[in-house]
A and B are shown apart, each in its own frame.
Chain A
């Protein structure tokens, strides 16, 4: 019979291999799911995971979809390592987009080079401020940051609807709950001709490098890890849990807010209730799939972007519903959590004891 045996220390090989194993396991399970839907699983997998890599435009779309995922996941990773569970990044993303959009619309008539930096600042501050609510309620009133940050997602969604139905609605928009299109100087410049790859993509790559440095070399990276792995040892070391909670939430909120600004000033170009498509939630999976490591997150973001780009293709080509991709992403997180066991334990075949 199979028996679990604790390893004397976490296996580094397994830490690197388990995300790969999880992806393979998900492909298997996803294939079964597609087969159950009456679709050819091999064709579905090819459309989702291979075709986007072969086509030039799809490749650039991977960068567009991967950017918010990676940026948000980077911010979340420090908190997740410290045991601070911000699961409301979607709300912070919305608030960032909304604030940036509000700035863009407010200065619609006075375009200038200063507008984009101002929008980015507004997006960052809005996301950060939205994340500070659970941070302060946690440290001051001991309220669960999980529940508060999540509740604020619903509030932010409704707030966005209220804004685009009210003050920010396009006056010439036939009463649709949409803002008008941003002025050109409120749109992120494209860095690749003939694609939607915007300035946010290189900025996110810089953020990856910066996060990698902080996580490996800076005391903040070490302290967040220590706090999550051994809270009492962290207290002994002198790490203040309350302060770390605030910093981690603020950091993840700022990243999500900036991602929201990128989305509003990039692919969207206007504010609409359909702007949030769940990047804030998917980024949680990206963070875990990347093992909370910045470089891992970059790879995981690429894989997950495939499920967006390829998933859209699969909708058109094979009629696979969008919900299937959502299910698929849930499966991936399940698979990852399941195989994660192998980092701390090994499976041993043992003869049954008498």
Chain B
């Protein structure tokens, strides 16, 4: 017996068919994985199920009856709830207000706090209804979303990449909650590209590639490698690891401390590290623990106190981004569109954004547009950036290609030190592999590379050293050789306790 059946769903966006005749069925009490690379069409599919997007063709049935939700409210009324990857929460509002917004208009505000307390106690998801959501950690925010869903008594719970923001410990708690829900008869549609998780949690998996269903299987009988090959459609070759670190210290942080940038930012406290030539230092941790703030402190967007940041022995703490680039420190922030690149500007103009100083793209304030165009074309050629030409807007590139451009722009400047945040976030496997390869090659040429990433597999693959950033504090650096997943979990967990103290 099937709870939700999908037949031949198709959705077109300008220039791309996001879903092409997708069919699947989910039974009550089943934890069903939806597996696929970024851009495989997972998000579009669940948005159609949740009523956010109307399919162009195909049909859905719920309990055997036709199901075509006019909007999320209709989907919720039909018993379908969803936890978004990027939380749909309101930072300035309280937990109780946030939850009330996700429930139907019939829900009285009175008594809601008590029901929140009941549900969160029953499922082991502690929450204070009166706290502003902006003050909560990523894990706590997810709890708000889950409790909001549970209060609706859903029959199908959709979870979009739920573990990308959780520590290993929090992942275990989440899995326990989901298993309990499944035992009570709730169906779970679990979207992820993390193969080990799916093997540990799910009963069935539907694998999407290029908008089509390419396989359906029992993930428990598959290996991570076989799942990956179904997902990517090719046999993957792991890149070579970086060479050995040299002895010369390039970058040194000495007790870097910065207050939180805004009401809901993370303060950096007493961060110390050294980065040597040829070294790739991986900094792991869940987003929202100071990654963005650390990169801003390195790029010079936020100035540090004197003596806190040294580049080859020179104090660069009080210097701005251009002066730091001039001395050899290049950076690439996480957000491609709007931060690393200006969306509506051309690739030439975007090349100028960070290439100005080192590539000498201006003389006496007059821009050398010819040289800038040449630099942009060099990036495009060296990093295989697929685009219609360097005179087109950054926004017109795909995520992977723009990321290659952004990383390539810094690498081609031959920096002494390169710091990147989430270098392969949200890009396809081929682009991610190319970016990692380029970082490894750069280190081999003597540059010190600092990689901040949530993707532990990525860090284990390319970095020589590893440290965890939790609550704005950095753990001691360990060599990645011989480092186990349990030890990493401990590093993330150990630092987390310190972070919680700081936040309380």
State if A and B touch, Cβ cutoff 8 Å.
yes
B-side residues, CB < 8 A to A, are: 14-15, 54, 56, 299-301, 320-323, 325, 331, 333, 335, 338-345, 349, 352-354, 356, 362, 365-367, 369, 392-393, 395-396
| A104–B323 CA distance with the chains assembled, in angstroms | 47
Residue A147 interfacial (CB < 8 Å): no
Apart from A8-B396, A226-B342: 5 A-B pairs, beta carbons within 8 A: A9-B392, A226-B345, A235-B301, A236-B339, A237-B321
Contact A8 B395 (CB under 8 A): yes
Q: With a CB–CB cut-off of 8 A, which chain B residues contact A334?
A: none
| A57–B165 CA distance with the chains assembled, in angstroms | 72
Contact A219 B393 (CB under 8 A): no
| A344–B483 CA distance with the chains assembled, in angstroms | 50
In the complex, which residue of chain A has the Cβ closest to the Cβ of B368? A217
3 tightest Cβ-Cβ pairs between the two chains A and B: A9-B393, A238-B321, A230-B342
- Given A236-B354, A237-B321, A229 contacting B14 (CB threshold 8 A): no
Residue A218 interfacial (CB < 8 Å): yes
| A193–B54 CA distance with the chains assembled, in angstroms | 70
Contact B338 A219 (CB under 8 A): no
Q: With a CB–CB cut-off of 8 A, which chain A residues contact B362?
A: 219
Most buried by B among A217, A229, A232, A233: A233
Q: With a CB–CB cut-off of 8 A, which chain A residues contact B365?
A: 218-220
Number of residues in A with C-beta < 8 Å to the partner?
Answer: 23
Residue A222 interfacial (CB < 8 Å): yes
Residue in A222, A230, A238 whose CB lies within 8 Å of B322: A238
Residue in A219, A226, A238 whose CB lies within 8 Å of B320: A238
Contact B300 A5 (CB under 8 A): no
| A5–B342 CA distance with the chains assembled, in angstroms | 21
Contact B341 A10 (CB under 8 A): no
- Given A8-B393, A236-B353, A218 contacting B366 (CB threshold 8 A): yes
- Given A233-B353, A236-B339, A237-B353, A219 contacting B344 (CB threshold 8 A): no
Q: With a CB–CB cut-off of 8 A, which chain A residues contact B54?
A: 353-354
Contact A233 B367 (CB under 8 A): no
Q: With a CB–CB cut-off of 8 A, which chain B residues contact A184?
A: none
Q: With a CB–CB cut-off of 8 A, which chain B residues contact A229?
A: 342-345
Q: With a CB–CB cut-off of 8 A, which chain A residues contact B321?
A: 235-238
Q: With a CB–CB cut-off of 8 A, which chain B residues contact A235?
A: 301, 321
Residue A240 interfacial (CB < 8 Å): yes
- Given A10-B393, A218-B367, A219-B367, A230 contacting B335 (CB threshold 8 A): no
Q: With a CB–CB cut-off of 8 A, which chain B residues contact A226?
A: 342, 345, 349, 353
Contact A222 B352 (CB under 8 A): yes
What are 22 A-B pairs with beta-carbon distances under 8 A? A8-B15, A9-B344, A10-B344, A217-B366, A218-B366, A218-B367, A222-B349, A222-B352, A226-B345, A226-B349, A226-B353, A229-B344, A229-B345, A230-B345, A232-B339, A233-B338, A236-B331, A236-B333, A236-B340, A237-B353, A238-B300, A238-B325
| A9–B54 CA distance with the chains assembled, in angstroms | 25
In the complex, which residue of chain B has the Cβ closest to the Cβ of A226? B342
Contact B392 A233 (CB under 8 A): no
Contact B338 A232 (CB under 8 A): yes
| A10–B392 CA distance with the chains assembled, in angstroms | 9
Q: Restricting to A188-244, which residues have a CB under 8 Å from any CB of B?
A: 217-220, 222, 225-226, 229-230, 232-238, 240
Q: With a CB–CB cut-off of 8 A, which chain B residues contact A353?
A: 54, 56
Smallest distance from the beta carbon of A25 to chain B beta carbons, Å? 24
| A354–B70 CA distance with the chains assembled, in angstroms | 10
Q: With a CB–CB cut-off of 8 A, which chain A residues contact B320?
A: 238, 240
Smallest distance from the beta carbon of B386 to chain A beta carbons, Å? 13
Q: With a CB–CB cut-off of 8 A, which chain B residues contact A237?
A: 321-322, 353-354, 356
In the complex, which residue of chain A has the Cβ closest to the Cβ of B323? A238
Most buried by B among A5, A10, A235, A240: A235
In the complex, which residue of chain B has the Cβ closest to the Cβ of A227? B342
| A230–B339 CA distance with the chains assembled, in angstroms | 7
Smallest distance from the beta carbon of A218 to chain B beta carbons, Å? 5
Q: With a CB–CB cut-off of 8 A, which chain B residues contact A10?
A: 344, 393
In the complex, which residue of chain A has the Cβ closest to the Cβ of B336? A233
In the complex, which residue of chain A has the Cβ closest to the Cβ of B331? A236
